[in-house]
A and B are shown apart, each in its own frame.
Chain A
Amino acid sequence: MLKVQDLKAGYGRVEVLHGLSFHVPKGELVTLIGSNGAGKTTTLRAISGMLRPQSGAILLGDADIAGLPSHQVARRGLAHSPEGRRIFPSLSVEDNLRLGAFVRLTGVREKGDVEADFDRMYDLFPRLKERRAQQAGTLSGGEQQMLAMGRALMSRPEILLLDEPSMGLAPRLVEGVFDTIRRLKEEHVTMLLVEQFAAMALDVADHAYVLENGRIRFQGAAKSLRNDPAVRSAYLGGH
Chain B
Amino acid sequence: MDWISTLLQAPTTSIFWQLVASGVAVGMIYATIAFGYQLTFATSKTLNFGQGEALMLGAMLGLTLLPYLGYWLMLPVILIFGMAQGAVVERLGVRPAIETKSEFGWIMATIALGIIFRNMAENIWGRDDLKFPSPLPETAIELGTVRILPAEIMVVVGALLMMAAVETFNRRSIYGKAFVATSNDIDAAGLMGIDTRRVITMSYAMSSMTAAFAGVLVAPVTLTGATMGAVLALKAFAVAIIGGLDSALGAIVGGILLGVIETLTGYYVSTGYKDVPGLILVLIVLAIRPAGLFGRRTIKKV
Contact = CB atoms under 8 A, between A and B. Distances in A.
Contacts of A140: 301
B193 A98 contact: no
Interface in B200-253: none
Interface residues of B, number: 25
Given A88-B185, A91-B184, A144 B196 contact: no
Nearest to A89: B298
Contacts of B185: 86-89
Contact of A90 (B180, B189, B302): B180
B188 interface: yes
A98 B177 contact: yes
Contacts of B181: 88, 91, 99
A71 B191 CA distance: 6
Contacts of A233: none
B190 A137 contact: no
Interface stretch (A77-85, A187-195, A217-225): A77-85
A108 B192 CA distance: 12
Contacts of A166: none
Contact of A105 (B174, B188, B197, B301): B174
Nearest to B171: A95
Most buried by A among B174, B301, B302: B301
B162 interface: no
B193 A89 contact: no
A108 B193 contact: yes
B128 interface: no
Given A89-B299, A99-B177, A138-B299, 15 more contacts: A70-B187, A71-B194, A71-B195, A84-B302, A95-B177, A98-B174, A99-B189, A99-B192, A105-B174, A137-B299, A139-B301, A140-B301, A151-B192, A155-B192, A168-B302
Interface of A: 48-50, 69-71, 74-75, 79-80, 82, 84, 86-91, 95, 98-100, 102-103, 105-106, 108-109, 135, 137-141, 144, 151-152, 155, 168
